Amino acid sequence: MSISVIDKKMLHFFNDLQEYFFLAGRSLLRMFRRPFYYREFAIQFDKLGFSSLFICILTGLFTGMVMALQALIQLKPFAATSYVGGMVAATMIKELGPVLASLMVAGRVGSAITAELGTMVVTEQVDAMRVEGTDIIQRLVVPRMKAMLLAMPLLTVVTDLISLVGGYIMSAGYGINPTMYIKGLPQFMVFQDLIEGLVKPVFFGMIITLTGCYIGLNTRGGAEGVGNAAKQAVVLSSVLILMSDFFITKVFVVFR
Amino acid sequence: MTSSDSIRMEKLSYTIGGRRILEDFDFSLERGVNRTILGISGAGKTTILKLLLGLLQPDAGRVCIGDVCITGVPESDFMELRKRIAIVFQGGALFDSMTVGENVGYRLFEEGRLSQVEIEQIIREKLSFVGVEPALDLYPAELSGGMKKRVAIARALAADPDYIFFDEPTTGLDPIGVYNICNLMQRLQAEGKTTLMVTHDLETAFRTSQRFTFLHQARMIFEGTQEEMRESRLPEVQQFLRPTVESLFV
């Protein structure tokens, strides 16, 4: 690969990065500016948030069950199965709940946002809105962002709670009674862990929306372009979620 | 005629993906003179409309609406000026998630200056003008191609603009659909609207415009009336007017 090609690719990458952060900044500023598009917000909350509930319940249930199963196998030789609730709670609430729920939502919602906006771009609906005097970020990005900022923590809480239920279902099979399981839940956690478990999905929700909107609004090339954009949005938002998870965790560890 | 009654492109150049679309392009649309930009597919006709509206930014040159130049200016600063112009996109570009009525009244709802009753009255009036009033509550997916274009015209008319741009308004329509669209354009012109159309459909162009611009290889190579165009000795123009079998294979 020649230097000019690398140079071009780097330039393209940094230009995209700059535009991504511009979009983030503009969206955050416009969140507090009129018009608020309440109807659009409600529609997006239903489409992006409420309709992802079932997938999050399934994710939480089975992850909680498998976490408990693995923990029980490890703890049983040491007669320490009473710690299973605490292990499931600490792992799910701090880490797996936010990450898994966000990855599931990224797959479901990120691609939907990109496909919808991408189709609007290639069919010139976005241009039509601009000609009609609409601020595209205010109209299309901000309601989705607000919906996700509210929905993602709620979905994570549901995922966490269901995973604890799943953990109990598994533990019950190993003779652990409900009181022992519930009493064990907070034993490896502090209050800051609950905050961590709620802050992460807020960031992840922002990443999913911004990535979906950025790629969607920059879609080129008809139906094939929309398909590629949707795929790209899911991959990119998933990678960004995993990367930012590390950095957010690191920040919480520093301030522990 | 003053400069405030025109939309102009001055020495405009535009490149996309390394391909030069326009080079040193001068163009002026005066109030009351209906124009058509002609050229083969891919010549850059739609790009001209998007540049005139400020949807695209040129590499060089400038676009002025009246006395104000919009090139390099943030979009929010010329929103008011742009309200003098409306566009009917090639595919209609109707908003999928809204009904026909909501599409037509979109700008009025966004502005929020009029009451719901007043907006509904305007919507009905515009839909009646284009002859699709019964489609008020339908969604764009339920409309035919011709109906979509007529609804798009109604949407363009809702805010009472001075200039209306048409991007290939008759492409993909049957002869009756073409006739209806031409008829609508003539009625708009009779009501004092200035139209600018880009097309490669000569019949529609000659029926609805007084002046013609011919675009070839990123440059304007002809500008004049229908008669002047027919008498032009430029081979590109003659080939466009009367394509021969040989020229199709060149």
SS (H, E, C) chain B: CCHHHEEEEEEEEEEECCEEEEEEEEEEEECCCCEEEECCCCCCHHHHHHHHCCCCCCCEEEEEECCEECCCCCHHHHHHHHCCEEEECCCCCCCCCCCHHHHHCHHHHHHCCCCHHHHHHHHHHHHHHHCCHHHCCCCHHHCCHHHHHHHHHHHHHHCCCCEEEEECCCCCCCHHHHHHHHHHHHHHHHCCCEEEEEECCHHHHHHHCCEEEEEECCEEEEEECHHHHHHCCCHHHHHHHCCCHHHHHC
Average pLDDT over residues A174-180: 86
Assess A127–B contact: CB distance below 8 Å, yes or no: yes
More confidently predicted of B18 and A216: A216
Partner B, chain A 213-252, Cβ-Cβ below 8 Å: none
Q: Is residue A190 part of a domain?
A: yes
pLDDT at site B246:
56
The whole-angstrom separation of Cα B182 and Cα B170 is: 8
In chain A, which residue ranges form alpha helices assigned H by DSSP? 3-30, 38-44, 53-75, 84-91, 97-105, 111-122, 125-131, 136, 142-172, 178-184, 191-217, 222-254
Contact (Cβ atoms closer than 8 angstroms) between residue B100 and residue B151: yes
Residues in contact with A158: Cβ distance below 8 Å, sequence separation at least 6, in sequence order: A53, A56, A57, A60
How buried is B200 (Cβ within 10 angstroms: 0-12 exposed, 13-18 middle, 19+ buried)?
middle
Share of chain B above pLDDT 70, in %: 95
pLDDT at site A34:
85
- Chain B neighbors of A129, CB-CB under 8 A: 95, 106
According to CATH, what is the number of the domain B1-81+197-250?
A: 3.40.50.300
How buried is B242 (Cβ within 10 angstroms: 0-12 exposed, 13-18 middle, 19+ buried)?
exposed
Angle A13-A17-A19 (CA atoms, 0-180°, nearest 5)?
A: 115
Q: Where are the domains of chain B?
A: 1-81+197-250
Q: Read off the amino acid at residue B119.
A: I
**Number of neighbouring beta carbons within 10 Å of residue B98:** 15
For residue A216, pLDDT over 90 is answered with yes
pLDDT at site B197:
93
pLDDT at site B249:
55
Average pLDDT over residues A149-174: 94
Beta bridge partners of B64: B8, B69
Residues in contact with B213: Cβ distance below 8 Å, sequence separation at least 6, in sequence order: B27, B35, B36, B37, B38, B220, B222, B223
- Chain A neighbors of B89, CB-CB under 8 A: 124, 127-128
For residue B120, pLDDT over 90 is answered with yes
pLDDT at site B139:
95
Q: Read off the amino acid at residue B174.
A: D
What is the ipTM, given to two decimal places? 0.88
pLDDT at site B245:
57
Assess A133–B contact: CB distance below 8 Å, yes or no: yes
pLDDT digits (tens, 9 = 90+) for B215-240: 888 888 888 998 898 888 888 888 88
- Give the range of the structural domain holding residue A223, as residue numbers without chain letter: 36-254
Q: Is residue A21 part of a domain?
A: no
* Cα nearest neighbour of B56 on chain A: A127
* Domain count for chain A: 1
For residue B34, pLDDT over 80 is answered with yes
Closest CA to B4 of B31, B22, B37, B25: B31
Query: pLDDT grade, residue B19 (50/70/90)?
Result: confident
pLDDT at site B32:
85
For residue B46, pLDDT over 60 is answered with yes
Helix axes A53-75, A142-172, angle to 10 degrees: 40
Q: How many CB pairs under 8 A join A and B?
A: 45
Average pLDDT over residues B37-42: 86
pLDDT digits (tens, 9 = 90+) for B76-88: 888 888 888 999 9
For residue B247, pLDDT over 70 is answered with no
pLDDT digits (tens, 9 = 90+) for B193-220: 899 999 988 888 998 898 999 988 888 8
The whole-angstrom separation of Cα B37 and Cα B229 is: 12
Mean pLDDT of chain A: 92
Average pLDDT over residues A185-204: 91
CB-closest option in A119, A124, A130 to B75: A130
Of the residues B16, B51, B52, B55, the best mutation for testing chain A's interface (the one with the most A CB atoms within 10 Å of its CB) is B55
Query: pLDDT grade, residue B65 (50/70/90)?
Result: confident
pLDDT digits (tens, 9 = 90+) for A107-125: 999 999 999 999 999 999 9
For residue A198, pLDDT over 70 is answered with yes
Average pLDDT over residues A201-229: 94
For residue B172, pLDDT over 90 is answered with no
Average pLDDT over residues A172-196: 87
